[in-house]
Amino acid sequence: MSKYIIRKLLMLPVVLLAVSFIIFMILRFIPGDPARLMAGQQATQQDVEMMRTKLGLDENIFIQYADFLQNALQGDLGNSMRSSKPVISEIKSRFPNTMALALSSYTIAVSIGIVSGVLAAVFQYSLFDQAVMFMAILGASTANFWLALIAMNFFSVKLGILPLMGSGSWQHLILPSLSLAFYPTALIARMSRSSMLEIIRQDYIRTAKAKGLGAVIVYCKHALRNACIPIITVVGLHFGVLFGGAVVTETVFNWPGIGRLLIDSVRYRDYPLIQGTVLLTVVMVVLVNFLVDIIIVKIDPRIRLD
């Protein structure tokens, strides 16, 4: 186990180095000239050239990368081309917001998803089961921005009980985290149901029941523990997606998170900012996967990491 942890941690810098190189090069080869985009449509060629020099884009691309790397190793990811703010401080100001949104919507998704999925499996073919599966299909197939707009119109404009958008209080978190939770809740509910169904038909569950154990102990302790391995894997994978991908929700609710930062920076080809946000997302995905591996080992002693 400890060997595994050390190996994973040692891999992180290698992964980051590779990703930083790929991102750096891709950005410079995709069309779109930051100097032109910064200077604006009405700028003359002279303005654009001056901007290019100022942004250091006229240097050899490998020298640019070497510079970037050297600064990055000292904890300096450069300044945003657009706002001149340091990339690190831009990310720092956004990170807690993204974290808050991700965790709160995940708390909702995991708790509702697992509970309803497990109950649906236990009471298979009941009305409850059918209702849960209906909601799950709905949740998995509804565009969350559409849902968000409907919810905003109802709760903020019509009823006036929740803030429409922005951040600043826990009330601001309610609508975005609910709308963001919709899809993963559905996903987790379906996953929990199917993996639970598989488990509760196995012999050891029948044995446990035959021993006279109560239903709660049988399902929660004996069944769920085995059923939750695929669930945790899905939850973990999706968390990474969500972290870099809450773009739509963040845009609709004006939530100042990483996703919107990334989208805004792509529009203006703000290279340093794109690099910074992508690297952060990579770190988060690697860490979450790492965490998932460890949790699974903890739950299922049959699995060995070394």
Q: How many chain residues bind another protein (CB under 8 A)?
A: 64
Beta carbons within 8 Å of 185's beta carbon, 6+ residues apart: 108, 109, 112, 113, 136, 139
User: What is the smallest separation between the CB atom of 105 and another protein, expressed in angstroms?
Assistant: 10
Binding of residue 297 to another protein (CB under 8 A): no
Binding of residue 39 to another protein (CB under 8 A): yes
Helix ranges (DSSP H) in the chain: 2-29, 34-39, 45-54, 61-73, 87-122, 127-141, 144-152, 170-200, 203-210, 215-216, 224-245, 247-252, 258-267, 271-299
Binding of residue 71 to another protein (CB under 8 A): no
From residue 240, how far is each of 26, 94, 107 by CA, in Å?
22, 17, 15
Binding of residue 82 to another protein (CB under 8 A): yes
Residues numbered 83-102 forming contacts with another protein, rule: CB under 8 A? 83-85, 90, 93-94, 96-97, 99-100
User: What is the smallest separation between the CB atom of 212 and another protein, expressed in angstroms?
Assistant: 30
Tokens for 53? 């020099």
Binding of residue 79 to another protein (CB under 8 A): yes
User: What is the smallest separation between the CB atom of 267 and another protein, expressed in angstroms?
Assistant: 6
* Residue 151 or 223 having the CB closest to another protein: 151
CA-to-CA distance for 61 and 82, rounded, in angstroms? Answer: 20
Among 58, 166, 202, 303, binds another protein (CB under 8 A): 166
* Residue 47 or 59 having the CB closest to another protein: 47
Cβ atoms within 10 Å of 39's Cβ, excluding its own: 19
Binding mask 231-270 for another protein (x = CB under 8 A): --------------------xx-x-xx--xx--x--xxx-
Q: Which residues of 217-232 are buried (b: 16+ CB within 10 A; e: fewer)?
A: ebbeebbbebbbbebb
Query: Is residue 182 packed enough to be buried (19+ CB in 10 Å), middle (13-18) or exposed (0-12)?
Result: buried
User: What is the smallest separation between the CB atom of 168 and another protein, expressed in angstroms?
Assistant: 3
* Residue 41 or 141 having the CB closest to another protein: 41
Give DSSP secondary structure letters for 4-43.
HHHHHHHHHHHHHHHHHHHHHHHHHHSS--HHHHHH-TT-
* Residue 15 or 99 having the CB closest to another protein: 99
Tokens for 87? 């990339």
Binding mask 144-163 for another protein (x = CB under 8 A): -----x--xx--xx--x--x
Cβ atoms within 10 Å of 194's Cβ, excluding its own: 16
Binding of residue 29 to another protein (CB under 8 A): no
* Residue 13 or 96 having the CB closest to another protein: 96
Residue with tokens 């690190």: 88
Residues numbered 201-230 forming contacts with another protein, rule: CB under 8 A? none
Beta carbons within 8 Å of 54's beta carbon, 6+ residues apart: none
User: What is the smallest separation between the CB atom of 18 and another protein, expressed in angstroms?
Assistant: 25
**Binding positions for another protein, rule: CB under 8 A:** 31-33, 36-48, 50-51, 53-54, 79, 82-85, 90, 93-94, 96-97, 99-100, 103-104, 106-107, 110, 149, 152-153, 156-157, 160, 163-170, 172-173, 251-252, 254, 256-257, 260-261, 264, 267-269
